Structure 1
């Protein structure tokens, strides 16, 4: 049996309901943007060519990957897209070791799956295409209006403020997986 960690069902910093809103190993080259579908993918920052969604110490970050990047780094930036744990019309992103990319206290991170409503919601993102850009935004399933968003090199879930800067920092290109 797996050890389950009890986690709070509600977040103290959650918005109130009133305000709720195949590259070869020797080279990595961007591929054309494509739609998010089930299967392996890598996500590149829309405004940061060569910056890919990955994790460091289980926390979501963006990292520059190039032809010199090792296979472990490319694997860390490849996720298996599966039907959303909270909403099958949306998606969840699973790492090679079976953990899921989810938000916890608004920070993106990899965590072992636990069978709770909160975990399933935190690990489900709905795709919102950004018109005319070839990019998508990933909206939190359990907090509508809150999107995967980069703050410098870190990845968070933040509330959309409607600005062009927010839109640019929450846009991602769906790429072929960096690992085969």
Structure 2
């Protein structure tokens, strides 16, 4: 939990600095994260403690310059390496994307259900409902969840709408047992 709070603070700071410098930090971190995910060697250098801070900095300097990363993001990544906090980069990246999405006026969320796929009609209805309720455009992705017997569970950040049969049965059970 502490790492999540720290990651959120770092992400907010990075976004604010990047906005002042007119830099798209979300895009730059997306490019860097994609490269790290493609290269096991780069991932090992950055996240394993076998390498010294100097070795990590040398590799990062070369990688970041080839990617055309701005000085704001370069300094931020260098700070994480020097403070031995590079391990929370994935959490920071996630928070940066969430903040960037908010700034652009939309949210990301998931719809979970037992079906192998979701009808476009239901997805459109849910997107419109969330836009009316939250005032922001929502980008929803569907995930099949074998733990759901029937119905759907929609999660957008900390909002969860659970219209699954399992949830309804649990509520019914609680109401019967509490009487």
Structure 1 or 2, whichever has the larger Rg, is 2
Q: Which has the bigger relative contact order, CA under 8 A and spacing at least 6?
A: 1
**TM norm. shorter chain > 0.5:** no
TM-score if structure 1 supplies the norm length? 0.22
Larger helix percent: 2
